[in-house]
Structure 1
Amino acid sequence: MAAEQTVSTGRAQRKLPPKTGIQQIFRISSVDSLRALRRLAAAAISAAALCLTNAAPATAAPIYPIPESDAFYWAPPDLANFRSGDVLRSRAMPTAVYPGATAWQLLYRTTDSQNAPIAAVTTVFVPSGGGDNRPLVSYQPFVNSLGTRCAPSHTLFNGGLQEGPALNVLLARGWALAVPDHLGPTSAYGAARLGGRITLDGIRAAKRFEPAGLAGSPVGLAGYSGGGMATGFAAALAPEYAPELPIVGAAQGGVPVNIGKLALEVGGTPNPLFGLGFAAAMGLEREYPNELVMDRILNTGGSELRARIANACTDEIIAAGANRSFGDVFTTGMDADETTVRILHENSLETFPGVPRAPIYQWHGAADQVSPVLVREVSGRYCAAGTPVLLDMIPGADHASAMLQGIPRAFDYLADRFAGVPAPTNC
């Protein structure tokens, strides 16, 4: 099992570009923002698990988001004829906020949780000088939304993506980037395994897109919190789902590795971010429409909230659900049925049997509300299977401060993997 100690990546941290810093980059400066992030993962995932309890075979359809009006996102009728990761269409994007870079959006074929073909979008950035098989990082943002308008392919360019400015730090290193809409075409927030598949197929698409010049690029993965879940699942799925991808390392932080256990620990009391958890339940219902249904367990208040946030982004969801509890929206108890347990296990890294083969940098706040104990256990399981894991438990850090402290270390970790430096481990 990975040692319970604070570690470094074994090389000096690189300086960020002038007049930047991680807090500035992520626009986290107020006390209120930090407090919100401290509660984010726990509130979001716990409600997701609990509000799907006692589900039975669906008798009503989920509420899906308003379809994309932009025809670029529409899947072609012959989608099933393409391979996973095949590019269906592409378009160039403006890069005023990413100076010197060239950007494209790619629509590509991937698969949902029932192995049916779906179309997804990734945004690819190549820094000045072109592709030339330079390192490629797939960066998974923490997206906690139900509206397709909230996806990175939109918010990267309208200022809505909180992590957007940090991408310039990676581009300044000379790395190409792929930023997938990892919640998928129905914004299935909470469906982490789906996010892993979309991430891997987005990398395939970026490498197959000839104008980007990335066919021979080594690949790194990075993400935090909800983005860390998609990153973690991409790393765990890769040996079987995409074994051909040359993934040299994954940096994942603040990951809720068991959404069911987290629910039991923190669910059931009024929470300022209750709406995020309710939204995650709606996302899982969208991804498993024939197995999960919320209608049978919602009271009038729950039905109203569900309709109100069906197309909402993070801030709108938080405002709509603020300080509610389960009793305000549900009519049943908390005993989960077998179907719900199975689906929660499928979307929790602790219970998902896949093991990454690429080296892992796993960072987590020792004071995080998302259980550090479970993160240690998952890291230990990976170590036992022979995966080099560098577990970085940051003393005294909660969910927000661990993100800020770990991001520079994560980038340095990936730089070493791209440079061919042997992966450090504290297994």
Structure 2
Amino acid sequence: MLARRSLVALVCGAVVATVAAVLGTADSAAADGMGEVVEAHPVTVTSIPTGAAFSAWQVRYVSQNTQGAPWTTLATILRPVNRVEPPVLLAYDAIIDAMAPQCFPSYQMQAGLGQQTTTGVMEFDMLYLARALERGWTVVVPDYLGPDGEFAAGYVEGRGTLDSIRAAENFAPAGLPGSATPAAIFGYSGGARGSEFAAELAAAYAPELNLRGVAAGGVTVDIASTARSIDGTFSGPLAAAAALGLGRAYPQLRMDSYFPDPGFRTTVGNACLLQLESAFPMMRLSDHAVTPGGVGLLDIPEIAGVVGTLRAGAYGTPSMPLYIYHAMNDETAPIADTDGLIGDYCARGVDVSYHKYPGVEHLTGNVAGSPAALDWIGDRLAGAPAGSTCGMPGQSIIG
């Protein structure tokens, strides 16, 4: 076990050393409005399996951290040669589930890491990006956790997504008609967090955007519920990454103090999803978290108070149609949480189409549901009206 962890730490360190060469160094946040592009350059993206020709740029744009302070983060803008006219925009929230910059799509896509590797998990993301480009959509893929990797801190995920849309619309080479651009947002699993929270924040944070719809699958509605669900499973290390990510976003929680082993903190802070799961298989949070009296980390009042504010549904009411889908056997994001969220949305009058897939779990739920979600987005971008499952049994469609 020690040898495995040492190897993972060594690999992480080697990758981190190359990140600056690809991403460049962080700037101070500009005093411009949110979504302002402060730096841009063309990039080569070889990880998307498509024959569709496209141009790509990496842009640094202004957004906000969890506390509302301005900073700059990165996004990759993809413009297909044979794009639809008038142009449309998809903000694609890739699965990150980590704090380290080499796990972010701006690095992964340039490094050609389109398949599952020891440094990331973007295989499905690349397939869906290919389908979007083949449909002629311009796409923006944000590093929505920001330069500090505030993993699991919902506000930064939603703001980073919305500001990436502003950035793409502000970026002249993308050739978009500004805030009038028909736009949509899509994400699954960790990416669904940015999509879902952007939907809730949009009316207050980015009301000028022409958001036609948001599709989110395998949504983590409640961090605490998910942490308990994955505790002691293959995905168990994600709970520690989420806790430490929240510590970056909310320094008053002193999260590092509950993980006294500096080697553990370093490995978790520098590892991508598959590295985490390999280094700490079947991990329980209590294996590494040391708390007063042995109380559960998420039951500490200060932590529980913050986590409670980050539950989906707490950010605002979506003003655009939603397409939510979930595996009925999801072992990572409990479907009961999503059922409750949909009931709440329906009660608020949100136009939501909720699709539940029987016989599949979190990973295969992506395969089962995401193609239909992309079709739904296509209809919204084309201007077709959206339906709703509110009022149906369970407010949903099975299958």
CA distance, structure 2, for counterparts of residue 409 and residue 71 of structure 1: 34
TM-score in terms of structure 1 length: 0.78
Alpha-carbon offset, residue 348 of structure 1: 1.8
Which structure's relative contact order is higher, taking Cα pairs within 8 Å and 6+ residues apart?
1
Alpha-carbon offset, residue 239 of structure 1: 0.4
CA distance, structure 2, for counterparts of residue 313 and residue 145 of structure 1: 5
Which of 100, 110, 115 aligns to 1:157? It is 110
> 1:46-65 residue pairs with structure 2 within 5 A?
none
Aligned: 1:424 with 2:397: no
Alpha-carbon offset, residue 323 of structure 1: 2.7
Which of 52, 62, 66 aligns to 1:109? It is 62
Aligned: 1:298 with 2:249: no
Matched with 1:355 is 317
Which of 89, 104, 109 aligns to 2:39? It is 89
Quick check: which one's helix share is greater? 2
Q: Percent of counterpart pairs with the same letter?
A: 32
What code does the residue aligned with 1:145 have? Answer: A
TM-score in terms of structure 2 length: 0.84
Matched with 2:225 is 261
Which of 337, 342, 346 aligns to 1:379? It is 342
CA distance, structure 2, for counterparts of residue 288 and residue 315 of structure 1: 26
256 and 237 in structure 1: CA distance in 2 versus 1, 3 angstrom threshold: same
Aligned: 1:69 with 2:30: no
Aligned: 1:345 with 2:303: no
Q: Deviations over 1:309-330 (max 9, x none)?
A: 3222222222222233233212
Q: Deviations over 1:39-64 (max 9, x none)?
A: xxxxxxxxxxxxxxxxxxxxxxxxxx
Cα RMSD over matched residues? Answer: 2.1
69 and 158 in structure 1: CA distance in 2 versus 1, 3 angstrom threshold: closer
CA distance, structure 1, for counterparts of residue 23 and residue 284 of structure 2: 39
Matched with 1:208 is 170
Matched with 1:280 is 242
What code does the residue aligned with 2:283 have? Answer: R
Q: Deviations over 1:101-151 (max 9, x none)?
A: 011111011011111111011101011146865111001011122221121
Preserved CA contact (<8 Å) 1:73 1:121:
no
Higher mean C-alpha displacement, 320-329 vs 389-398: 320-329
Aligned: 1:310 with 2:272: no
What code does the residue aligned with 2:343 have? Answer: G
What code does the residue aligned with 2:170 have? Answer: R
Preserved CA contact (<8 Å) 1:131 1:213:
no
Matched with 2:215 is 251
Q: Deviations over 1:235-261 (max 9, x none)?
A: 110000000000000110000101123
Alpha-carbon offset, residue 84 of structure 1: 0.5
CA distance, structure 1, for counterparts of residue 24 and residue 364 of structure 2: 36
Q: Deviations over 1:350-392 (max 9, x none)?
A: 4x14111110000001121222222122112112222110010
Matched with 2:129 is 167
Alpha-carbon offset, residue 209 of structure 1: 0.5
Aligned: 1:222 with 2:181: no
CA distance, structure 1, for counterparts of residue 343 and residue 372 of structure 2: 21
CA distance, structure 2, for counterparts of residue 341 and residue 82 of structure 1: 35
CA distance, structure 1, for counterparts of residue 230 and residue 70 of structure 2: 36
Matched with 2:141 is 179
Which of 324, 329, 336 aligns to 2:283? It is 324
Residue 89 of structure 1 aligns to a residue whose secondary structure is: strand
Query: How many equivalent residue pairs?
Result: 356
